[in-house]
Structure 1
Amino acid sequence: MSPFGTATRSPGGCAVSSGRRRCFLRSLSLLLLLAVTWGAGGSLADDPGPVIVATIASSINPVTADFLSSVIERAEKETATLLVVELDTPGGLDTAMRQMVQEIIRTPVPVAVYVSPSGARAASAGVLITLAADIAAMAPGTNIGAAHPVGMGGGGMDNTMAKKVENDAAAYARSLAEKKGRNGEWAEMAVRESASLTETDAKKKNVIDLIAPSLSALLTAVDGRVIEKNGKTITLRTKDASVTRIPMGLRHRVLSALADPNIAYILMMIGIYGIFFELSNPGAVFPGVVGGIALILGFYSLQTLSASYAGFLLIALALILFILEIKIASHGALTIGGIISLVLGSLMLFRSSVDPYLRISWGVILAMVGISAAFFGTVVTLAVRSQLRKPETGPEGLIGETGEAMGDFTGKGKVFVVGELWDAECPFPLRKGDKVTVVQRKEMTLVVKPQEMSR
């Protein structure tokens, strides 16, 4: 210490103090950086994933099942908070429905099935898809139910088989409903008795979880909801999540359109016409190519629908009869048989006992049968007229023609007919310039008679 009590600074004192300050500042900066990094990391970790929305407004078939599978795959890649399936379906194939249900149950992404918009329905297979969802919601003015199974394919089921199918579907529906804590008794009734409910009754009977007038209202309503998914508890955070809609691609839209029974029927008719024109005009190529493609597409459509084998065989028989008509002179009998076969096959192709969406509309049937009847009827009429018409060329074409005697003769002489000079025979006397009518041809000689005798 100095006499005045001030601290004695060592030669290195200043360096020691500066080093401490620098160490303090570096430590403070590091703490601030860690705090900012932790806060940002925490906010990123808490940021919810997107809400994926897909719309299925068609029958349940292999195309819609493949579309849902692709949407679920994308939702998994994007770690979506929720997948919303906007559903409006009259029902469809059991195999496609079960594939969709399995995908909904398997995926780790929570799935909400939202029956919308107003006026939509979840009927038949749509009921089970809704019951399988983690969240089942409906818009106002919608309905759900009528899940009784129907026979698919050629012909109906006998009583034993129908009962087996019904029991299987009822047990499956009850199982799906009870797995999600919903009304298993009503689910079974929907299968056995084709029971249906409005959205209000469905909410009261614990068939669905909530009623939402819009997608945004649905996302607000489920925000914070806790669900069980594959043994894990998930809290939904959908209020501030971004919404991504995934529309059907061109491939799925085209294939889905082909699953319409009216489209399938029209394609088959185009195929029949194409094959007919190709066989009636060999080498035209274009009708055959178009007809072949249309038939193949028609066959693809039939495999997704409730097509009757008897109806298909009758339409095939109509095609055979139309083809034979151009090969055999039946004077229209084969065409009439083909039209009758076509009408019966059209009526039987999709059985009337199944859902209306699996049947051909009467308008399409009448239009196609009418066009077919008019076309082939015209062809037959023209063919009959051509056979009844007096020949205009060849040996028979001279019969009935008028000419002029070139000189006086009885028996044999010369006549001028259709611009040509012919040898002629006439049992009656003729004078030069007399008008004659041809009644027969004997090789290069015409048999004639005076024209006044022909009146």
Structure 2
Amino acid sequence: MKRLFLSLIICLLTLMSWAGLSSPAAQAAEEGSVYVIPVENEIETGLTASLRRAFQLAEEESARAIVLDIDTLGGRVDAAMEIGELIRGSDIPVIAYVQSKAISAGSYIALNAPQLAMAPGATIGAAEVRQGDGEQADPKVVAFWRAEMIAAAEHTGRDTKIVSGMVDRNVEIPGVKEKGELISLSAEQAVQHKLADGIFPDLNAALAHYGYEDAPTHVYQPTLSERIGRFVTQPLVIPLLLVIGLMGLTWEIVVPGKLFPGVIGAGSLALYFWGHMAAGFAGWESVILFVAGVVLMIAEIFVAGFGIVGALGVIALGSGVVLAAHDTSYGLKAMLFAIILSVVLGAVLFKYFGHLGMWKKIILTDQQEKADGYVPAKSYRHMMYQTGRTVTPLRPSGTAVFHGQRFDVVSEGNWLPVDTDVQIVLIEGTRIVVRQVAGDANKVIPVQEDEEQE
């Protein structure tokens, strides 16, 4: 148990030591510079938080323009929509420069920028929304996403028909696409259909086109905490960290003695919470709830709380995880999945290793074997319904005589004086229950025999 608490302390110390990294370090930039912000790899909630901080720094340093250097195959629709709102709400001019690919949700981000430039060989489009299993999304979701893409095009004055064809296969545009296809445009086609302002060999050429050739450029570099936060908040990583974390702590509880599982579990949970704190989704209240939940669940083992303490622990633990997640429904599902696997692991470990560690102190494992001199308790069931007489008062326990032998008995509840005729009405192991009867004392009920024997 000490090792488990040590693991939790390591978890807290790790969070506290990393907390200083959660805030991006000041990145010096000249006043009036152009802020270049990379939009790379998968679009997810961690990227949204990183871009929000980058936009804030650009405003604080009075940047002349913000350039989104885009190279992505897409990602989460909800994250892309938040980035789109960030672009539309910016007081600083935003330029989207498609370095290589602006596919799916990446095209939505690019279309929200008032100014859009393409690099040679770059592509944009193919923004069909799909479910997690790769299948086409529900028609309602497709309609909603198409409306969002069209709204982005309308906001920046671009061709809404072309944008609609990027999303919906059922849209037919004569001379551009047949029904059943998605639109994905090359750099030349994007300029031809007036989605892009031009093709530029590099970013400096694009900046010169928009009148920023004399402005110094400052490339925003995400901090280590932001990069790790982006990784930790990915949908596939979240349940993995929770499973490793809870299973590691479960292992340490059931089979104590080795610090490794507990440290791995605590480290995974620390990484989960720290990543979400670095991404701006969680605060210390989530960590406090989680640790309180673990402590309450451990206390349930040693305190007779009728399950109340343990139930409160589960609620606190789950609340801490769910509150830390950007998507609470997904966080709840991931938490339930991790708890189920941890319970299964705990049952297996307890079955095969329950005799180890602290369980030896709270579970009775001694057996009364015949070889040690223990013999089974004598059975008195043959005395059922026999009558006798009390030799001590029954209050309600006492002593009675049956066939000249003294036995410890107990009445059905009423007190009986000495020399009271009683009859045995119940035998439970060595416990003999009697009831007062009228008639001769010590009268034995005869055994019924068959009248005829053939």
- Taking structure 1 as the reference length, the TM-score comes to 0.51
Shift of 1:295: 4.4
C-alpha separation between the residues in 1 aligned to 2:134 and 2:101?
Answer: 26
The equivalent of 2:140 in structure 1 is 164
- State the one-letter code of the partner of 1:61: E
Shift of 1:48: 9.3
The equivalent of 2:199 in structure 1 is 211
Alignment pair present for 1:144 and 2:118: no
Alignment pair present for 1:192 and 2:165: no
C-alpha separation between the residues in 2 aligned to 1:280 and 1:181?
Answer: 63
- State the one-letter code of the partner of 2:200: A
The equivalent of 2:255 in structure 1 is 281
Greater C-alpha radius of gyration: 1
Alignment pair present for 1:242 and 2:220: no
Instruction: Go from structure 1 to structure 2 and tell me whether the alpha carbon gap of 1:287 and 1:204 turns closer, same or farther (over 3 Å shift).
Output: same
Q: Deviation per CA, 1:278-332, whole angstroms, max 9, x where unpaired?
A: 13422645532431441465587895699698887666544333322222259xx
Alignment pair present for 1:221 and 2:221: no
Does the CA contact (< 8 Å) of 2:80 and 2:109 recur in 1?
yes
C-alpha separation between the residues in 2 aligned to 1:262 and 1:93?
Answer: 12
Does the CA contact (< 8 Å) of 1:56 and 1:89 recur in 2?
yes
Q: Secondary structure at the match of 1:137?
A: strand
The equivalent of 1:81 in structure 2 is 64
C-alpha separation between the residues in 2 aligned to 1:132 and 1:294?
Answer: 37
Instruction: Go from structure 1 to structure 2 and tell me whether the alpha carbon gap of 1:81 and 1:158 turns closer, same or farther (over 3 Å shift).
Output: closer
Matches within 5 A, 1:404-415: none
The RMSD of aligned alpha carbons is 3.6
C-alpha separation between the residues in 2 aligned to 1:158 and 1:141?
Answer: 28
C-alpha separation between the residues in 2 aligned to 1:85 and 1:265?
Answer: 31
Alignment pair present for 1:123 and 2:111: no
* Structure 2, unpaired ranges of 5+: 1-29, 170-181, 277-321, 354-370, 372-454
The equivalent of 2:149 in structure 1 is 173
Instruction: Go from structure 1 to structure 2 and tell me whether the alpha carbon gap of 1:66 and 1:321 turns closer, same or farther (over 3 Å shift).
Output: closer
Does the CA contact (< 8 Å) of 1:93 and 1:304 recur in 2?
no
C-alpha separation between the residues in 2 aligned to 1:95 and 1:260?
Answer: 13
- State the one-letter code of the partner of 2:104: S
Alignment pair present for 1:65 and 2:41: no
1:54 maps to which of 30, 37, 51: 37
Does the CA contact (< 8 Å) of 1:265 and 1:298 recur in 2?
no
2:347 maps to which of 317, 324, 327: 324
- State the one-letter code of the partner of 2:252: E
Does the CA contact (< 8 Å) of 2:88 and 2:113 recur in 1?
yes
Instruction: Go from structure 1 to structure 2 and tell me whether the alpha carbon gap of 1:329 and 1:283 turns closer, same or farther (over 3 Å shift).
Output: closer
C-alpha separation between the residues in 1 aligned to 2:45 and 2:116?
Answer: 23
- State the one-letter code of the partner of 2:149: A
- State the one-letter code of the partner of 2:344: L
C-alpha separation between the residues in 2 aligned to 1:78 and 1:324?
Answer: 57
Q: Secondary structure at the match of 2:72?
A: coil
The equivalent of 1:233 in structure 2 is none
Does the CA contact (< 8 Å) of 2:103 and 2:124 recur in 1?
yes
Instruction: Go from structure 1 to structure 2 and tell me whether the alpha carbon gap of 1:69 and 1:307 turns closer, same or farther (over 3 Å shift).
Output: closer
* Structure 1, unpaired ranges of 5+: 1-46, 224-237, 331-394, 396-455
- State the one-letter code of the partner of 1:257: F
Instruction: Go from structure 1 to structure 2 and tell me whether the alpha carbon gap of 1:284 and 1:122 turns closer, same or farther (over 3 Å shift).
Output: same
The equivalent of 2:228 in structure 1 is 254
Flag the structure with more relative contact order, 1 or 2, with Cα contacts below 8 A and sequence separation at least 6: 2
- The percentage of aligned residue pairs carrying the same residue is 29
Does the CA contact (< 8 Å) of 1:62 and 1:304 recur in 2?
yes
- State the one-letter code of the partner of 2:227: R
Does the CA contact (< 8 Å) of 2:31 and 2:62 recur in 1?
no
Instruction: Go from structure 1 to structure 2 and tell me whether the alpha carbon gap of 1:144 and 1:304 turns closer, same or farther (over 3 Å shift).
Output: farther
C-alpha separation between the residues in 1 aligned to 2:222 and 2:252?
Answer: 36
- Taking structure 2 as the reference length, the TM-score comes to 0.51
- State the one-letter code of the partner of 1:173: M
Does the CA contact (< 8 Å) of 1:48 and 1:241 recur in 2?
no
- State the one-letter code of the partner of 1:144: I
- State the one-letter code of the partner of 1:147: A
- State the one-letter code of the partner of 1:68: L
Does the CA contact (< 8 Å) of 2:238 and 2:334 recur in 1?
no
Does the CA contact (< 8 Å) of 2:247 and 2:345 recur in 1?
no
- State the one-letter code of the partner of 1:321: V
Q: Deviation per CA, 1:56-79, whole angstroms, max 9, x where unpaired?
A: 213222221122222222222333
Does the CA contact (< 8 Å) of 1:190 and 1:196 recur in 2?
yes
Q: Secondary structure at the match of 2:351?
A: coil
C-alpha separation between the residues in 1 aligned to 2:332 and 2:131?
Answer: 13
Shift of 1:149: 2.3
C-alpha separation between the residues in 2 aligned to 1:87 and 1:167?
Answer: 25
Does the CA contact (< 8 Å) of 1:140 and 1:212 recur in 2?
yes
Q: Deviation per CA, 1:414-440, whole angstroms, max 9, x where unpaired?
A: xxxxxxxxxxxxxxxxxxxxxxxxxxx
Does the CA contact (< 8 Å) of 1:202 and 1:208 recur in 2?
yes
Matches within 5 A, 1:87-106: 87-106=70-89
Number of paired residues? Answer: 265
